Structure 1
C-alpha cells in the first residue's frame, strides 16, 4: 500500500515556505532601499566633487564666469543632466514618473530626486554650491 502525505503535513510545509518567503521579501526590500540610498549619496558626492573641481579650475585660470551645470530642458525625460561638470551625465526623468533614484530638473538651478514614491530631495545650485533645500531631516540623511 502506498503511503501519501497527510493533509496536515502539506499544510505545515506550506506554512513554513510562506514564513521563509515573507522573511526574504522583507530582506530584499530593505536591501533595495539601502542600495537606492547609497546610489543617491554617490550621485550627490559626485556632483559636489565635480563642482568643486570646476571652481578650483576657474580660480586657477582666473576665470570669473558663473558655472552652469547643464543645458537640459526643465522636466524633460531622458535629458543629460550635469553634462557640463560630469564625464558621464545622469539621465533625467520627469515629475510625472517619480522614478526612484533618477534626477529631475525643476528649474534652471533646481533639481530633485525621488527617494521613495512620495518623498524626494530637492537641491538648488546657487553661488557655485549644490545645496539641499528639502527638510532638515531628509537633508541630514543624505549629507
Structure 2
C-alpha cells in the first residue's frame, strides 16, 4: 500500500492512496496554516476509529439490523512539548440498538487485538529516506 502526499502550498498537503480519494490536510492558523483540511493528528485519530469501526461492523454483521447508531469518539492526549505526539488514546463506542453487551465487547476486543491494522501500526518502526533533486541523499550528521 502506498500513499503519495503532495504539498499544495503554505502548510497544506493532499494525500492520495490506492483508493484514489484525496485527503486534504492543513495546519491550524496557530501553526501557520489556513485550517482548510483536517490536521494530521486528527487524521490519525480518525484512522484509528475508522479502522476499528469497520472491523466491529464486520464482526457484528449478523446483528447490524438491530443497531440504530454507532458513533466512535476518539480522544487523544498529547505531550505538552514538541514533538507533541500522543501519549494516550481513548476510543469510546456509542452504540444504540438491541444488542448484547458481550457481543459488542467481543467485537471491540477482536478488532483491537486481531484485525485493526491501524491500531497495530501504532507500534511500527518508522524510517525516513531523502531523494533530493532526483538523487538518493544519505543523512549527513
Give the shorter-chain TM-score range. Answer: under 0.3
TM-score normalised to structure 1 length:
0.26
Larger helix proportion of the pair? 1
Larger strand proportion of the pair? 2
